[in-house]
Amino acid sequence: MTDKRTLLDQVPTGIWLSNTSVDAITGKTFEVIDPATGDVLAEVADGGREDALAALDGATEAGPAWAATPPRERAEILRSAFEEVTRRRDDFALLMTLEMGKILSESVGEVTYGAEFLRWFSEEAVRIAGRTATAPAGNGEIVVVKEPVGPSYAITPWNFPLAMGTRKIGPALAAGCPMIVKPAEDTPLTMLLLAKVFADVGLPPGVLTVVPTKTGAAEQSAVLMSDRRLRKVSFTGSTGVGSLLIRQSADQVLSTSMELGGNAPFIVFDDADLAAAVDGAMAAKMRNGGEACTAANRFFVHRGIADRFVPALTARLDAMTVGPGYDAGSDLGPLINGKQLDRVAALVDGAVADGATVHTGGRRIDGPGFFYPPTLLTDVPVGDPILLEEIFGPVVVIQTFDDEADVIARSNDTDYGLASYFFTNDLNRVKRVASALEYGMVGVNRGVISDPAAPFCGVKHSGLGVEGGVDGIDEYLTTKYIALTPTSV
Ligand code: NAD
């Protein structure tokens, strides 16, 4: 593995335009911080309106040639990027741990997961299919073709700095669309290194640009989304920003894909395999330090087994070591920043003030760094904010239930509808509960569901559209109907 300083020196820190790193036209930069120490890792260009427009100029120029590039060649560039990211797995993992905080083994897992979108969509690039039919009236043929939607804009969050990018870049490039990426201000370095990898493996200039910004996210998005050359926006982040972008997309009637927040229920029925449910809870809650849109947010445990489940999970949380993600032996890294630490601490403090019982954790850890311990609460009163909001931290909140209809009603009593989980050994219940849960994704007897080969999708306030799987490329394609009447010559 490359050492930290050498690695950071290899990461471009400007605006990534035309396969080169350039200073922001604004002349401004911002600091990227190591959340485990508060140390500055890098100074990155703080792009503004003119930088965003320069990226769109480049994308518009590069777009037609990229769309006309044979799918096999597009596929091979994506495949080469997959191989290069995989070859540099340890560098990407260290970089993510440095800027985002998650433990190294999870960063390695994200490299595998994130790179897989490049391989998966390299395989989908050569399978973009239309169809033909004889017109029922017998007057010709109905020919349906798929075409790239055009210049696309991706806005990504900080919690999965690589995978949230590749899940959009993979299908966009496979479909023949140039892509402009605005990475999250806390974690721009991973995306900048990825852009360099794409240039190294031969992606033509202008097809992928990265415009980091800290102060200009709203301005950049507004200027791009009001420009008629942009045709698509794909966003992963909070529901608040997502609905703002949907409103903003109306003027140019932009295609939008929205992967937004969640409030996942995690249900343990009394016939569940308890050990598997505890393992699943650890995965669904503690992966990524709880900072995942798919993270279990509300645990519902059947009253008959709660007195075994709660101590078993508490013991697992107690055994975790909190520390910098790059230290061997750390099981849980810091939260992303001080604001997030304050949020999590305030939610727990509020619940405790409202009468919650703390089984472990419950108090923020003094700095440096933004650490919060694994925490387990019970007896949280109905309506408490910690049950309504995405916690986005290592905090388990357990409620009990008595019957299936009640737990389904409580699980669905939220505006969100992203991931959900339940544990049972009853096959009939599996079918019933899976269809009753109003969620885009349902995990049955497992705590991790994301898979590049499967659709990632939310309903209600959790999103619009699908990423990954065979459907993911459709978000970057439009349908054209050609009414074909052969002339007799
Ligand atoms: P966020 O919405 O604050 O930020 C996400 C991105 O949007 C960042 O790049 C940010 O700079 C940008 N942004 C903020 N305001 C903007 C504006 N006015 N115009 C344009 N861009 C703007 O979310 P976050 O705190 O970075 O990420 C956490 C959220 O993301 C959580 O709600 C989580 O559930 C969600 N998330 C969802 C998925 C999913 O696939 N559904 C995956 C990961 C995270």
pLDDT in 10s for each residue of the chain, 489 residues: 789 999 999 999 999 999 999 999 999 999 999 999 999 999 999 999 999 999 999 999 999 999 999 999 999 999 999 999 999 999 999 999 999 999 999 999 999 999 999 999 999 999 999 999 999 999 999 999 999 999 999 999 999 999 999 999 999 999 999 999 999 999 999 999 999 999 999 999 999 999 999 999 999 999 999 999 999 999 999 999 999 999 999 999 999 999 999 999 999 999 999 999 999 999 999 999 999 999 999 999 999 999 999 999 999 999 999 999 999 999 999 999 999 999 999 999 999 999 999 999 999 999 999 999 999 999 999 999 999 999 999 999 999 999 999 999 999 999 999 999 999 999 999 999 999 999 999 999 999 999 999 999 999 999 999 999 999 999 999 999 999 997 765
Catalytic residue among 106, 110, 185, 259: 259
The domain defined by 264-444 carries CATH number 3.30.1330.10: no
pLDDT tens-place string over residues 386-413 = 999 999 999 999 999 999 999 999 999 9
339 lines ligand 1 (CB under 6 A): no
Its sign, for the CA torsion 442, 446, 447, 448, is negative
The pLDDT, as a whole number, for residue 146 is: 98
The pLDDT, as a whole number, for residue 487 is: 74
Mapping DSSP to helix (H, G, I), strand (E, B) and coil, where does residue 294 land? Answer: coil
Q: What are the phi and psi torsion angles at 332 (to 5°)?
A: -145, 125
The angle, 0 to 180 degrees and rounded to 10, between the axes of the packed helices 188-200 and 71-87 is: 120
Domain spans in the chain, listed from the N-terminal domain onward: 4-260+462-481, 264-444
Pairing of strands 296-302, 395-401: parallel
449 lines ligand 1 (CB under 6 A): no
Residues 442, 482: contact at Cβ < 8 Å?
A: no
C-alpha–C-alpha distance, residues 81 and 87, integer Å? 10
The pLDDT, as a whole number, for residue 149 is: 98
pLDDT tens-place string over residues 285-342 = 999 999 999 999 999 999 999 999 999 999 999 999 999 999 999 999 999 999 999 9
Ligand 1, atom 18: closest residue by C-alpha: 218
C-alpha–C-alpha distance, residues 32 and 423, integer Å? 40
Q: How far is CA 435 from CA 82, 225, 403, 417, 454, in A?
A: 36, 37, 17, 13, 18
85 contacts: CB under 8 Å, gap ≥ 6 = 92, 111, 114, 115, 118, 162, 194, 197
What's the gap in Å between 238 CA and the centre of ligand 1? 4
DSSP 3-state helix, strand, coil percentages of the chain (rounded to 5)? 40, 20, 40
C-alpha–C-alpha distance, residues 47 and 180, integer Å? 13
The pLDDT, as a whole number, for residue 354 is: 97
Pairing of strands 255-259, 463-464: antiparallel
Mapping DSSP to helix (H, G, I), strand (E, B) and coil, where does residue 165 land? Answer: helix
What's the gap in Å between 400 CA and the centre of ligand 1? 31
244 lines ligand 1 (CB under 6 A): yes
Q: Tell me the pTM.
A: 0.97
Residues 441, 459: contact at Cβ < 8 Å?
A: no
Tokens 């035309």 sit on residue: 18
Mutate to test the pocket of ligand 1, among 191, 214, 238, 291 (most ligand atoms within 8 A of CB): 238
The pLDDT, as a whole number, for residue 489 is: 55
- What's the fold here for domain 4-260+462-481? Aldehyde Dehydrogenase; Chain A, domain 1 (3.40.605)
Domains 4-260+462-481 and 264-444 share a fold: no
Q: Is 259 a catalytic residue?
A: yes
217 lines ligand 1 (CB under 6 A): yes
Dmax over CA atoms of the chain, in Å, equals: 85
Q: What is the mean pLDDT of the chain?
A: 97
For 269-296, b/e burial (b = at least 16 CB within 10 A) is: bbebebeebbbbbbbbbbbbbbbbbbbb
293 lines ligand 1 (CB under 6 A): yes
What's the gap in Å between 165 CA and the centre of ligand 1? 12
The pLDDT, as a whole number, for residue 488 is: 67
Q: Whose CA is closest to 198, among 12, 55, 1, 475?
A: 12
CA 203 to chain centre: 24
391 lines ligand 1 (CB under 6 A): no
Percentage of the chain modeled with pLDDT above 70: 100
